[in-house]
Structure 1
Amino acid sequence: MTTLYQDLKDKLARLHVLEQMIVVNTLVFLFTGFLSLVLSNGRFYVLNFLSLSNDIWEVFLNPWTIITYGFLHYSLNHLFFNMLVLYFLARTFANLFRPRMALKIYVLGIISGAVFFSLATSLSPGILNINGPLVGASAGVRACIIFLCVYMPDKLVGFFTLRFKLKYLGIAMVVLDLPGLLSANSGGTVAHIGGYVLGFYFAYQLQKGREIGLFLDNILDYLSNKKRPLKTAYRKKTKKDRPKPKRDQNAFTHQKQIDLILDKIGKSGYESLTQEEKDFLFRAGKK
């Protein structure tokens, strides 16, 4: 049993962070499904506790729901299509960006979707058709897609025999989503827009050399048991004990190298890269 547990743990650790999110979303869906079988209202209670209410005052009373709603799905189809897109996004992010950046865009997209949803329910009551709580990872998924479309807009992608630039994919997604504001799922569409805005802003700021998700690093370090050394009463902290500026500088330089390679891909295609550049992208995707 110990060996099996360790094998599963090792395999999970080797997955890209977005693939790990697929596992988490799937396990949550299976758990809520199991509850519906053993308890008459078990799934209802879980969804009610973790979903994002359409009453903004309930959101203030249950602040965890601005994140937890993004790991719930009402149906198998809802889960399947979100996770399918997330899988392909994981393949793209793995080759171009650090895993942690993908996670930050995904989580911030979910939070942004929650903010837009809550503001819409409070500022436009009766205008939009929002009659229930919000669930689903769509805001996070869309944030990741739009980030790629804005950050490398001229990168060519293929769909069967068609080839087009990423920026056109982003424009098409937004335009096709807007009519949803008049549908029975207008709340979901509002959350999608929140994801679009976050993805756009994240990419826009990153192009200027600023990463808006840096504040999440301390939280992620804590969750991954990589806490910083605590100060002691008998020892004064020196500059050598503060590696963060160097780490941030190295991370920024590393990202700029990736940016230059991405620009080259966008202009001339992946095959124009030298073997050294391809190896660099491969190593960057493994970090």
Structure 2
Amino acid sequence: MRRQLGVGLLTKIARNGPSINLISPKSVSPSSFLIPFYRRSLSEYSTLSRSHLWKLCCPNGLRGTIQNGAFPTSLVATRVFSSALLQGRGKFPVTFRNRRSLASFSLDSRRRSFFRRLTTDGVLWGLIMTNVAVFMLWNVADTKFMVKNFMISVENIKHGQLHTMITNAFSHRDAFHLFSNMVGLYFFGSSIGQTFGPQYLLKLYLGGAIAGSIFYLVYQAFIAPSVESKPGRLSHSQVPALGASAALNAIILLNILLYPTSTIYLEFFVPVPAYLVGVFLIGNDMWKVWKGNTEISGASHLGGAAAGALAWLSKRKGRFGRF
């Protein structure tokens, strides 16, 4: 009833209050109806819950009132109610019953603030240092622990190790494998980050990692038994994989699809058109899948490439930022 009464008063004032120039906010002065209004509203609604007070004081809660003409802009409305709340806090005790709404709003604000502070270099170096840290962890931690938590396999997924679909993309045991992936990540990731922002770069890396894991699991569960011989004493479901190649493939392929006529220097010296590099990468991975994966998982690479292709298609449809 108190919330409905508040809305009624706002509507009544919007209809009966003196006219306000809605075109020029500079002409708005502390009119006679505003000051009595906010003083009266605080005394009458001092027992409202915190969520109700927030709806009265925030621009979103005043949207209907603004549209009806009570306030010329949301800025004026915010200033009026904010000052009223501060002036009346000591005079009118407010009972806060609902703390969850403001707590969730505060958490959401902190999360947004964190993402706004991200930079392309910060994301790139964060990813690189995480990969290096996991590489060093392989030398000091228990091997069984690392296999269960930093390698992807059908067996791990069956035992509930779902986090390995992401953690395997930060895991390397070979120094050259780590070095080559991180060099590619830095150069191609810089282009994506500068074009679409650091938050998108991070999402694309994680999306490529998950897509690569899904393709690898499908291959090991359904395709490998028919095209590969049994890998030693392990079954196909027990064969693990690791590496950032799938996540990197998503970033590389998106770069190639966006700039197909650009030049890529293989081994830092050989100039090759980007579209030819893309054809070679996809063809090579498809050949590995056809002949059976050896030490390098073509299926996982194709999964990362598929994520990059989907990102490119969403860009063509105007939804690139919603990846």
Q: Please, what TM-score do these two structures have when normalized by structure 2?
A: 0.54
Q: Hey, what does 1:174 align to over in structure 2?
A: 282
2:126 maps to a residue whose letter is Q
Separation (CA, whole Å) in 2 of partners of 1:114 and 1:128 = 19
Q: Hey, what does 2:64 align to over in structure 1?
A: none
Separation (CA, whole Å) in 2 of partners of 1:128 and 1:213 = 38
Q: Hey, what does 2:145 align to over in structure 1?
A: 45
Look at both structures and tell me which one has the larger radius of gyration over its CA atoms.
Answer: 2
Q: Shift in Å at residue 213 of structure 1?
A: 4.5
| 1:44-193 equivalences in 2 (<5 Å) | 44-55=144-155, 58=158, 61-129=160-228, 130=236, 132-158=239-265, 163-181=271-289, 182-185=291-294, 188-193=297-302
Q: Deviations over 1:262-282 (max 9, x none)?
A: xxxxxxxxxxxxxxxxxxxxx
Flag structure 1 segments of 5+ consecutive residues without an equivalent: 1-11, 36-41, 215-287
Is 2:121 aligned against 1:22?
A: no
Q: Deviations over 1:227-253 (max 9, x none)?
A: xxxxxxxxxxxxxxxxxxxxxxxxxxx
Separation (CA, whole Å) in 2 of partners of 1:158 and 1:46 = 35
Identity over aligned residues, as a percent?
Answer: 24
Is 2:318 aligned against 1:209?
A: yes
Q: 1:96 to 1:53 in 2, by over 3 A?
A: same
- The number of aligned residues is 196
Q: Shift in Å at residue 155 of structure 1?
A: 2.9
Q: 1:16 to 1:155 in 2, by over 3 A?
A: farther
Q: Please, what TM-score do these two structures have when normalized by structure 1?
A: 0.61
Q: Secondary structure at the match of 1:52?
A: coil
Q: 1:206 to 1:88 in 2, by over 3 A?
A: same
Separation (CA, whole Å) in 1 of partners of 2:156 and 2:220 = 7
Separation (CA, whole Å) in 2 of partners of 1:96 and 1:16 = 15
Q: 1:128 to 1:114 in 2, by over 3 A?
A: farther
| 1:226-265 equivalences in 2 (<5 Å) | none
Flag structure 2 segments of 5+ consecutive residues without an equivalent: 1-117, 229-235
CA RMSD of aligned residues (A): 2.6
1:141 maps to a residue whose letter is L
- Equivalent residue for 2:306, pick from 184, 190, 197: 197
Separation (CA, whole Å) in 1 of partners of 2:261 and 2:172 = 33
Q: Secondary structure at the match of 2:243?
A: coil
Q: Secondary structure at the match of 2:225?
A: coil
2:277 maps to a residue whose letter is L
